[in-house]
Structure 1
Amino acid sequence: MGIFNTTARNLFVCLSAFSILATSAVAARPASPQPRQQSTGSYEQKKREANDIAVSIVVSGISCTCARFAEDIRNVVNDLSPDGVRVLPVIGVGGLQNLKDVLFLKNMDMAVVDEDNMRLLKKTDPALYANIEQHVQYITKLYNSEFQVLARNDIKSYDDLRGKNVNFNLKNSQTEVTADTVFNSLNIPVQRSYYDNDEALKRLISGEISAMIILTGAPQVTLASVKKEDGLHFLPLDQESLPNHDLRELFSNYLPAELTHDTYPKLIPEGTTVPTVANRALLVAYTWPENSVRYNRVAKFVDAFFSKIDQFNSRSRHPKWREVNLAAEMPGWTRFKPAADWLATHRNQPVASTSDGAPDQSAELKSAFERFLQSYASSSGRKTLSGPEREQLFARFVKYLAETKAEQAAR
């Protein structure tokens, strides 16, 4: 046994020594050369390429229709190649603040604002904003933002809100700005609160506040979740529901609009509508010095966006795209030159989005709409229509044609 153990021990020592020597030999052997990773460019080059294609768009809160529009634009326009365009949405506050942000913040190229913002800023500080149209100009009209007031069922009209607690959304938001204009015009004083939409809805359902206001393109995601069982409804804003108020000034500044069963099927019965007013949402740009790097970058975006306007007709995009008309003129605003140049070059091509099969504003459609207006004038006795009335009728006309086309396809 002893001899065996000694022999085994000696064998183990020898094997261990051999293992150490073998390991040392391997370690001493020169390593075979590894293939070097080829660099695709320097850090500075990549940094430059990333910045060369990026443009920013300031939008309101993430639940706002403008944020969804910016996402749709990003998904259609984005091209991350060195010669492409990359859209970077930036979450802002909304309304007047978005316009101030694109005017004052560094490196902000564009923003979604409302049509009345420029007029209101000029009214607020005529000296500071005297030449604002030289610094911020509109690219295109996007969609109509409906003024939506959701109230408890015991509130039947705006007059019933007198002295009650009403949520005006966040301070300096577009909702707050427009709501201030509307309630001052109606001369209805209320107790104002400034909660975000989700918090306001919770307090509205609990009875802590009597109404909440949202100005955005319908349907708004927070309101779309409301059920009839929550005891809430939309307040109408028209002469019939407010017979003791003069609404002429209000309707001279805003579009007549309506909320429908299609937009809020859980709140608005089929076959009925809720009249209200609307503001136009615009895509605007800061006017960098012409032919500067940033100016040319935004110009490239305009060309990519306008050239792909037909790609926003998918059902996966927001339904408000059918209201987009690239050629629509905005009184009081100046068109951004690259946008005006693109429209001049493509004047014979369709310039409206065609969501869900709706026709565009081609010459044939315009001709049909003019015939429709003549028929409307004859039946209603109205010989002339204001710009907002024509725009509202055109929206209804396009919607009617789209529905008719869909019905025919379903047969």
Structure 2
Amino acid sequence: MTELLANVRLIDPENQTDQIGWLKIEGDKIAGLGVGGAEGGTDCGGKCLAPGIVDLGVKVSEPGERHKESFASAGRAAAAGGVTTMVTRPDTAGAIDTPEQLEFVQRRAASDAVVKVAHMSALTKGRSGREMVEIGFMLDAGAVAFTDCDRVTTDTKVLSRCLTYARSVGALVIGHPQEPGLSDGAAVTSGKFATLRGLPSVPAMAERMALDRDLALAEMTGVRYHADQISTARALPALERAKANGLDVTAGVSIHHLTLNELDVGDYRTFFKVKPPLRAEDDRKAMVAAVGSGLIDVISSMHTPQDEESKRLPYEEAASGAVALETLLPAALRLYHSGEVSLAQLWRAMALNPARRLGLNAGRLAPGAPADLVLFDPDAPFVLDRFALQSKSKNTPFDGQRMEGKVLGTWVNGTRVFTG
């Protein structure tokens, strides 16, 4: 198959350019692209064409909780949101910690999802923080990274052994920088708002304390380390020092911590309960600036489906998490429309950097690269209706909000898997 997309704004995260041009697809690859007009082909009306989003940290609730999200429903949601590669977390009902479990989710994803899926493995068996998984075997089976997600290993000796072994085989370890004692049972961030609402809270310092420990271990072991979510300004200087010292360290932030703050919780609205909790406005602004400067490398949805029963509870008892595969792109465009981050900078963090960190062939607009693409109108307005989402779970904090940015088409390996 050959397809020519003409009169498009090419968003190139590798060269940090945004210009009108054309792109040609042949088979499953980008055959060529250029600036200016092109004869024939499909006139895209000056809409934006970018590499498909590589979403690092998606939870698909298979095995164990398919009623919340399946690979089929998550794949449809991803395609509708311009996500062409989902990188899934191992925090399922039965943790993904053996080659057999990894093979099961690989088969299910390959047969059910319309987008590409890469899988992460647990770092310790059962995500319990006591015994290392067979990292070498899991790498051979196809795991792209190792993480216990939000279950932070408290035994530093166990963690250091895991990192040392991961370093010896070149594995990427993803940490969750939250000091577990301080953050246990917390529902919001400490401060005036938490006090007024009478909710259990965690100080912002808990994030820096945990990050400091992880960075010290990364320095000691030489491991490839990625912090899944940085959400407080206090943590940024430590990250900056680690990078300046030459450590192989990167960091991510969730779209919710870039676009929402603690006041959005309002009158105990549980759809705004995420982990880590929403932060102060000053923290949010610091995260946006860090994305713009490149200090924070990756923006992800941290897609976490929860059913209605687990959200319709008192705020401190409700489950944490929000679905975000379909809202990642329009929410990220809020930063573009506010003039804080360019489209090329956004796609550097949402496509190029996560692909590079995981060693995936994705996230680029270049001849020979996979034709994983998203065509979108950044200015198209709409009001989000959570019941129109493709995900089985509908727990989005953006329900009823005015947003801008609609996906018009998504291609995976040159095949169009979504038409908006």
TM range (shorter): under 0.3
More strand by share: 2
Radius of gyration: which is bigger?
1
Question: Structure 2-normalised TM-score?
Answer: 0.27
Question: Structure 1-normalised TM-score?
Answer: 0.27
More helix by share: 1
- Give the structure, 1 or 2, with the largest relative contact order (CA under 8 Å, sep 6 or more): 2
